[in-house]
Amino acid sequence: MGAKTYFVINYGCQMNESDTEHYAGQLEELGYRPAGDFHDADLIIVNTCCVRESAEKKIAGKIGELKALKTKNPELIICVAGCMAQKDGAKLIKKHPQVDIVLGTAYVNDFKDILLDFLVQRRRKGRVYDDLTIHQSEFEGKMVRQSNFEAWIPIMYGCNNYCTYCIVPYVRGRERSRSVENIVAEIEQAVQEGYKEFTLLGQNVNSYGKEFGIENAFAKLIRRVNDIPGVERVRYMTSHPKDMSEELIKAVAECEHVCENFHVPFQSGSDTILKQMNRGYNLERYHHLIDTIRKYVPHAAITTDIIVGFPGETEEDFQATLKLVQEVEFDAAFTFIYSKRSGTPAAKMENQVPLAVKHERLNELMEVQNLNSLKCNEKLVGQVVEVLAEGPSKNPEVWSGRSRTNKLVLWPLEGKTYQLGEKVYVKVDTAQTWLVKGKAVDHE
């Protein structure tokens, strides 16, 4: 009999993608091999997200689909991990008896032991691990990363902010930071394996290390990672405008390998709504932050997250959001329709906005933002950008990669060959809303 196989069905944010790479690493340490398709796997992990209702519905459908596979093959092991697992716990097994293990978000690094225990003791009844207060163990061991030159590096878990719309603090727990030593060791190991680009992950990276009592711990971490030999690019996400410091912006300006890309979610351009959201900053502070970024890093790309249709959002509030989008001219924005998450304060607020109005506002916002994105990309025409080659685009004769400012860049091979992760210089000649195109040039 050949080796047992696994498949992870992943949903949600980069943190989930990173957790998936941890699960895959632990499974391979146990001798599992990747399956090409989940239908053929001996073990399936569904790594879930519950930030919006739409995601949750889709995932519940997928878990339901697995029932037929389990009926066909009772030996199949089904594990539901991630934020929905944390939120619903034992309810998930009640609803979906085909699930064997419900793995909450604090157990990522303990998955291997939990699985071994399950294999030894194999009982009919599903197991639930959903204690959020346990201290997640530091990561050690193997990792199976999706890319072979870009690596996700979680630096902290959880969130203490309690934005009133957001479920994350309830399913990811209080903020806990990894030690600098553990983070640096993981990056050094990945450099040895050929990794070049590192994205430091956390729900609110600007409060990294607060529990260590070190001032500006995140800015210091960025500088430390920048100095690791072999690290070519450093990115990080997500920042919170309330906690982003001038020290961090200076660190980005001064560190050669840290990319000039600031993702600063503002969520709403109305002070009234920001207060209702419990965001901890106002428009003035946000503008000041943007001005500081532009002062120290003039060519930075600035991106954001925006929610429309938060309870009580009036037309006037929405216009304030549009105004901010026009003023800042973001390079890109992730725009969301407010989704009611039960258990969060906003779910109980009156004046929920009708869905039709939310859709109208979203469309209007996207139209304005798309023009901004195009405008920002047009500014790159004639410039040479540094790209790490990611591989062929839909057209095998045209390759794609990301610039330091995280723009998608396309260029024709013109008879040349490139390695994955190779540094390429592209002179931009065409700008579109979502990407720029150009030709590879020699770097002077």
**Interface residues with ligand SF4 (CB under 6 A)?**
159, 161-163, 166, 168-169, 203-204, 240
DSSP code of residue 360 = H
Q: Is 303 in the site for ligand 5AD (CB under 6 A)?
A: no
Q: Which residues of 368-391 are buried (b: 16+ CB within 10 A; e: fewer)?
A: bbeebbeebbeebeeebbbbbbbe
338 binds, among ligand SF4, ligand 5AD, none (CB under 5 to 8 A by kind): ligand 5AD
The minimum distance between CB 251 and ligand 5AD, in angstroms, equals 23
What is the nearest approach in angstroms of ligand 5AD to the Cβ of residue 332? 13
Q: Which of ligand 5AD, ligand SF4, none has residue 336 at its interface (CB below 5 to 8 Å by kind)?
A: ligand 5AD
Q: How far is the CB of 179 from ligand SF4 (least distance, A)?
A: 22
92 contact, one of ligand SF4, ligand 5AD, none, CB 5-8 Å limit per kind: none
What contacts 349, CB < 8 A, 6 or more positions away?
A: 164, 276, 311, 312
Binding segment for ligand 5AD (CB under 6 A), chosen from 93-101, 118-126, 130-138, 332-340, is 332-340
- Least spacing, CB of residue 336 vs ligand 5AD, in Å: 4
Three-state SS letters, 264-311: CCCECCCHHHHHHCCCCCCHHHHHHHHHHHHHHCCCCEEEEEEEECCC
To 10 degrees, the CA torsion angle through 193, 239, 89, 93? Answer: -60
Angle at 72 between CA 66 and CA 76, to 5 degrees: 60
278 or 433: whose CB is closer to ligand SF4? 278
**Residue 190's closest CA among 217, 218, 228?**
228
Residue appearing with tokens 């995601």: 55
Cβ closest to ligand 5AD, residue 222 vs residue 353: 353
Under DSSP, is residue 401 helix (H, G, I), strand (E, B) or coil? Answer: strand
By a kind-dependent CB cut-off of 5 to 8 A, residue 169 interacts, out of ligand SF4, ligand 5AD, none, with ligand SF4
Instruction: Give the residue with the Cβ less far from ligand SF4, 159 or 332.
Output: 159
Q: Which is nearer to ligand SF4, 245 or 393 (CB)?
A: 245
Dihedral angle at the C-alpha atoms of 389, 394, 398, 403, nearest 10 degrees? -40
Q: Which of residues 34-63 bind ligand 5AD (CB under 6 A)?
A: 51-52
Of ligand SF4, ligand 5AD, none, which one does residue 364 interact with (CB within 5 to 8 Å by kind)? none
For the CB of residue 93, give the shortest distance to ligand 5AD in the complex, in Å.
25
Report d(CA 80, CA 93) in Å as an integer.
9
Of residues 336 through 395, those in contact with ligand 5AD by CB under 6 A are 336, 338-339, 341
**Binding-site member from 110, 254, 305, 378 for ligand 5AD (CB under 6 A):** 305
- Per partner kind, with CB cut-offs from 5 to 8 A, the member of ligand SF4, ligand 5AD, none near residue 339 is ligand 5AD
Binding range to ligand 5AD, per CB under 6 A, among 27-35, 100-108, 294-302, 333-341:
333-341
Interface with ligand 5AD includes 263 (CB under 6 A)? no
Name beta bridge partners: 201.
154, 237
Q: How far is the CB of 395 from ligand 5AD (least distance, A)?
A: 32
Q: What are phi and psi of 437, to 5 degrees?
A: -125, 155
Nearest in space to 280 (alpha carbons), one of 309, 240, 307: 240
Under 8 Å between Cβ of 424 and 404: no
Alpha-carbon distances, residue 348 vs 169, 219, 344, 364 (angstroms): 17, 38, 8, 27
Q: Which is nearer to ligand 5AD, 342 or 417 (CB)?
A: 342
CA distance 43 to 31: 12
Residue nearer to ligand 5AD on the CB measure, 53 or 131:
53
Enumerate binding residues for ligand 5AD (CB under 6 A).
Answer: 51-52, 165-166, 265, 267, 305, 307, 336, 338-339, 341
